[in-house]
Structure 1
């Protein structure tokens, strides 16, 4: 037997060498058609040439005199070698265009090549075969097919896949279904029916891996086929609809200033649709972003729900937006098999906010008001007099009084000169007061006689002002308080004290006046005693205190 295998190998090697120089259509290694099988289970592999690369089947090729040759390359090796079809119990055999393994072993892993040739024609293709191991719960590195069921869509079924051709139709195999590692028996909404597994009402809780184990006899031997697939419950076609745009929203305004970054998300919900292509894109003034001169970038992300409904988001970004960019039309588009929708983003240039200017203006206004209040508080009298002098009316007209101020002074030449020249000139000529000067305007009768004329005129007026010297406080004006008896609540009056020197009785005089008239106030001017009386007129009066 060993000698025969050696001869066959040499013969096959000679064939390969003799045709090495001949033209052969080599389709290469088709990794997309990788075949995975479980260890110790039967496997049948059809030559891909007749399924995907050639227009005729095996029978036609055989009738045309073409021969199908199998060879393989072991894992981690480069040397092609013939397949040994003379193993015990025919573990590896070929039937027409099918290569059989009964069963597979781990060292069967490698790249298998089927070549169809004659003396003038050659075509071949290679494909990988991987033998994998599984545990007691059917876990393995095998890539599992996915079968999708619609959510709450009535009775739906799945079948045990890839078992056709392993046994004749007259053999009834034993089939057991598992969900994960659990045997399916008395499940609420899942019912095994031979080769099929029925889902009465598919729910999300039915998601998982389902395995069918098929046992059948052949030539006195028992073989087992294990087929695992993933069941995925997806959205029902009854709930399918066109895309729904979450963002941009009509209620959201993207206000930006030139130079800021503009970010606009296009967020769209897609319900599950079988074989539907979900698309989302932006247009700027009717053009795709890549067709514009704007420095814009678009990033897309996808969020899948359990039922494979998905939310796609395309984030449009402009790092430094210009005033011209803020005037453009940004539109989000979405499309699936149910329809197409679009929505424009509301982009505006942010209105200028004069926060600093308003704050400064308000602060300046408050400061100005405070300054004006302080100025008025300090210089209110000067302001009143200035207003009266230039804009006001004469308050003495029709006010019922003949005099505004009563003046008393010490009976000496110096004070008499000051009162008659300086004081009278300032108060009458400069400020417009009507002065009643003792001895000049009062009635004759002496200092102890109470004058009736001037006092009655003061009492009839709205107020009374009194100017006196230090001597007059004690002597020459004793009669005046008598005129206020019985009229204290009717008069508001002021005292003006003018002194030629330091008065030791000033406080006493003021106190006595305040006792008589609680609502009075005191104005005092002080003339330096060193000045000559002749210079008093040119000096005027200087205000030194106000109480």
Structure 2
């Protein structure tokens, strides 16, 4: 018999994986006692004022210890208690409240003073084994509400999984054990408690989807809303005292059983390529989806047909983890880690596999070596590119007018070949001596003699005897550009300059065959601008004359003005012919211009009358 007990002890050591401590009593007659320490099954929780029990952990493995067999072998079970704050074990004094039933110690009911460490000892004359377990009696002031989440989790005795849109029968755990202790048939009350964050809320309303039928709870149609704790409370009488015994079942909803349950590889896909680099750590990730089944499943990597644990090369290892859990369907990930990746590792075959009782799938991983770019050459190339871009930005910011003129000279179109206009530029200005001097001696001279444009000036090119309004409108209509010289004396109400400005704006807005250019000869305040000039200033560019700085043909003024003027392509022979023709025209028109001086002078004296008559 002693050898049998020794064999059983050895099997128990193997089963639970703990090492007992043999303690020898001071009395030589006392047997050697194996102390298994404290049980790793967790703390037993009981609500204050309710019934509960402690089950000796020595009998948690029936193949090692069986209560009936040990009793026949002459072993007796003793209970001891180590109260909180004490060092010495105290034997349990059995009473109507504390009683022993087989391998269980019943507390009917439990009190707050019962909290502490309990020790169950199995012994006979020659052998002894003991193990400790901890009891927690929850006091009323420690519980939030009628059903506390922490307490429900502690007294949960089972976990049930119910597929959606399917049903199941729930039985109150340990009902038959309680019935043995009761004086009469116990009654059972069921409650549904939902978990909202950290709070548990009792669902008082019963539905047609689940109903209590006698002592059992029948769930007809499972829904996601019904997840949580189903709590059953057993009420019974023992020796005239009303007692409650509470247990809870944690119910989880999973996807319906009719859905496909075969596992699938989510990653790598069929076309996915892992980019690897030599002499670095490479990680190959395999991700699989496992629909809910109450059966084992597995995900693994193979290298040349061998699993990682069978490889002799210690550079290979794996890391498995759960990625997500969705109503029973779990997404698992297996990561193959290759330290110090080598060239010959590219030639190996890497396969990811998933399996459960419904199916199997495997997929080969494709590897491709990363093409390394020279770091120094790449850095130099990026630096040169950045410098060139910065240089081009500076050049364009400084020389954008020159670049635009160069582009026009290469790719621009000569407008003389696309329209039937007679003049390139019609100049409108205030009829005073200062503005007239600027127009005739500067603008006209450079535009005609230096730049080769055909310029129309009303005071010079109009014939005597004509109507001023008609000839003005005719000259403007036959010109490609209207150059308006803006100064403080320009375009007073009713002047000829205002007539020219209106004609140019109307031609630009209606037909689009004329463009207006504003040249600011002298600064003027905005309130000095007439309405037509203010409107034109919003849409048109303004070229400013800056005195001595703008006289040179290479100044910014003339470059900006050339951008707005028509593009001219003039050959050397044509330029000579045009010069002679212009000289003859100026000589022939000089006399007529002088004869008109008196008429022009009278017109300037009363320009308002002339404009009103024209309107």
TM-score by structure 1 length?
0.55
1:213-252 counterparts in 2 under 5 A? 213-239=233-259, 241-252=261-272
**Distance of 1:330 and 1:64 partners within structure 2:** 58
Are the structure 2 counterparts of residues 40 and 240 from structure 1 closer, same or farther at C-alpha, using a change threshold of 3 Å? farther
Q: Which one has a bigger Cα radius of gyration?
A: 1
Residue 54 of structure 1 deviates from its aligned partner by 7.4
Residue 334 of structure 1 deviates from its aligned partner by 1.7
Higher share of residues assigned helix: 2
Which digits, 9 at most, give the CA deviation of each residue in 1:324-359, with x for residues without a partner? Answer: 333332211222222332100122346799999xx9
Q: Which of 109, 119, 123 does residue 113 from structure 1 map onto?
A: 119
1:85-484 counterparts in 2 under 5 A? 85=94, 90-133=96-139, 134-139=143-148, 140-141=150-151, 142-143=153-154, 144-152=156-164, 154-168=166-180, 171-180=184-193, 181-239=201-259, 241-256=261-276, 258=278, 262-276=282-296, 278-289=297-308, 291=311, 293=313, 295-296=315-316, 298-318=318-338, 321-349=341-369
CA contact (8 A) 1:149 1:156 kept: no
CA contact (8 A) 1:176 1:183 kept: no
CA contact (8 A) 1:236 1:272 kept: no
SS of match in other structure, 1:265: strand
CA contact (8 A) 2:183 2:237 kept: no
Q: Which runs of 5+ in 2 are unaligned?
A: 1-24, 194-200, 382-571, 578-615
Residue 321 of structure 1 deviates from its aligned partner by 4.2
Which digits, 9 at most, give the CA deviation of each residue in 1:80-105, with x for residues without a partner? Answer: 1111235xxx3223345442212111
SS of match in other structure, 2:133: strand
Which digits, 9 at most, give the CA deviation of each residue in 1:101-136, with x for residues without a partner? Answer: 121112212222233334334333332222224443
**Distance of 1:256 and 1:57 partners within structure 2:** 58
Query: Residue 36 in 1 paired to residue 49 in 2?
Result: no
Supply the RMSD in Å over aligned alpha carbons. 3.7
**Distance of 2:73 and 2:41 partners within structure 1:** 29
SS of match in other structure, 1:315: strand
Are the structure 2 counterparts of residues 286 and 111 from structure 1 closer, same or farther at C-alpha, using a change threshold of 3 Å? same
CA contact (8 A) 1:184 1:192 kept: no
**Distance of 1:126 and 1:352 partners within structure 2:** 63
Are the structure 2 counterparts of residues 92 and 160 from structure 1 closer, same or farther at C-alpha, using a change threshold of 3 Å? same
Which digits, 9 at most, give the CA deviation of each residue in 1:289-333, with x for residues without a partner? Answer: 462548455433312323121111223345764443333322112
Are the structure 2 counterparts of residues 206 and 96 from structure 1 closer, same or farther at C-alpha, using a change threshold of 3 Å? closer
TM-score by structure 2 length?
0.49
CA contact (8 A) 2:263 2:356 kept: yes
CA contact (8 A) 2:58 2:65 kept: no
Are the structure 2 counterparts of residues 30 and 254 from structure 1 closer, same or farther at C-alpha, using a change threshold of 3 Å? closer
